[in-house]
Structure 1
Amino acid sequence: MISTIDSRAAAEPAAAPDARITAYVFERIFGHGPGRVRHVPGTLTLLNSGPAHTGRANAGRALTVAIPWGAIVALGAGPLDLYSMNHHADRHTEGVPPGWAVPALAALHAHGVYAAQMVVNRELPVETGLPNGAETFCAVSQALQDLHGLPALREADGDRPAYMTALHAQRGKALIVNGIGPVEHVPCDLVAAGLRFLIIEAGVRGSVPAARCHRLLVDTAAAALRARDLNSFGTLLDRGHVRGQRALDLALDSAREAGALGGLVVGRCAVALVPVTAVHRVRKSVKASLAGLARRPPRFLTAVPAGR
Structure 2
Amino acid sequence: MSDLRDDVRTLFTQITGRAPDGLWSAPGRVNLIGEHTDYNDGFVLPFAIDRRTIVAAGAREDAVLRVASTFSDDAVEIPLGDLEGARGRAGWADYPLGVAWALGRSGADLAAVPGVDLVIDSNVPVGAGLSSSAAIECAVALALDDLWRLGLARPALARAGQLAENEFVGAPTGIMDQSASLLGQADAAVFLDCRTLDAEIVPLGFAAAGLTLLVMDTGVSHSHATGGYGERRASCEAGAAALGVPALRDLTVDDLARARDLLDDVTFRRVRHVVTENQRVLDVVRTLRTEGAAGIGELLDASHVSMRDDFEISVPELDLAVETAREHGALGARMTGGGFGGAAIALAPLDAVSRIQVAVDGAFAEHGFAAPEVYPVRPSAGAARDA
Length-normalised TM-score, structure 2: 0.69
Match of 1:249 among 309, 319, 327: 319
> C-alpha separation between the residues in 1 aligned to 2:93 and 2:200?
30
Greater Cα offset, 253-262 or 138-147: 138-147
Q: Residue 182 of structure 1: CA displacement?
A: 2.3
Amino acid in the other structure paired with 1:38: W
> C-alpha separation between the residues in 1 aligned to 2:198 and 2:368?
41
Greater Cα offset, 219-228 or 242-251: 242-251
Q: Residue 76 of structure 1: CA displacement?
A: 1.0
Matches within 5 A, 1:1-308: 16-48=2-34, 50-53=36-39, 59-78=41-60, 79-86=64-71, 88-94=72-78, 95=86, 97-109=89-101, 110=103, 111-113=108-110, 115-152=115-152, 155=159, 156=161, 157=163, 158-179=173-194, 180-206=196-222, 212=274, 213-241=276-304, 242-243=307-308, 244-267=314-337, 268-307=342-381
Deviations 1:156-200 (A, max 9, x none): 224311111111111111111112232011110211111111101
8 Å Cα contact 1:70-1:131 kept in structure 2: no
Runs (4+) of structure 1 moved beyond 4 Å?
Answer: 207-213
Where does the alignment leave 5 or more consecutive residues of structure 2 unmatched?
A: 79-85, 164-172, 233-272, 309-313, 383-387
Amino acid in the other structure paired with 1:173: A
Q: Residue 103 of structure 1: CA displacement?
A: 2.7
8 Å Cα contact 2:125-2:132 kept in structure 1: no
Q: Residue 134 of structure 1: CA displacement?
A: 2.1
8 Å Cα contact 1:202-1:294 kept in structure 2: no
Cα pair distance change 1:256/1:50, threshold 3 Å: closer
Deviations 1:17-75 (A, max 9, x none): 3122211111122211111110111111232265534xxxx521111111111321111
More helix by share: 2
8 Å Cα contact 1:203-1:294 kept in structure 2: no
> C-alpha separation between the residues in 2 aligned to 1:240 and 1:118?
39
Deviations 1:223-250 (A, max 9, x none): 1111243222122111111234111111
Greater Cα offset, 270-279 or 58-67: 58-67
Q: Residue 259 of structure 1: CA displacement?
A: 0.5
> C-alpha separation between the residues in 1 aligned to 2:27 and 2:127?
17
Q: Residue 147 of structure 1: CA displacement?
A: 2.5
> C-alpha separation between the residues in 1 aligned to 2:352 and 2:37?
35
Q: Residue 204 of structure 1: CA displacement?
A: 1.6
Length-normalised TM-score, structure 1: 0.85
8 Å Cα contact 2:294-2:331 kept in structure 1: yes
> C-alpha separation between the residues in 1 aligned to 2:100 and 2:192?
25
Q: Residue 132 of structure 1: CA displacement?
A: 4.9
Where does the alignment leave 5 or more consecutive residues of structure 1 unmatched?
A: 1-14
> C-alpha separation between the residues in 1 aligned to 2:214 and 2:7?
27
* SS of equivalent residue, structure 2 residue 38: coil
> C-alpha separation between the residues in 2 aligned to 1:144 and 1:206?
29
* Identity over aligned pairs, percent: 29
Aligned length: 289
8 Å Cα contact 2:124-2:132 kept in structure 1: no
> Which residue is equivalent to 1:8?
none
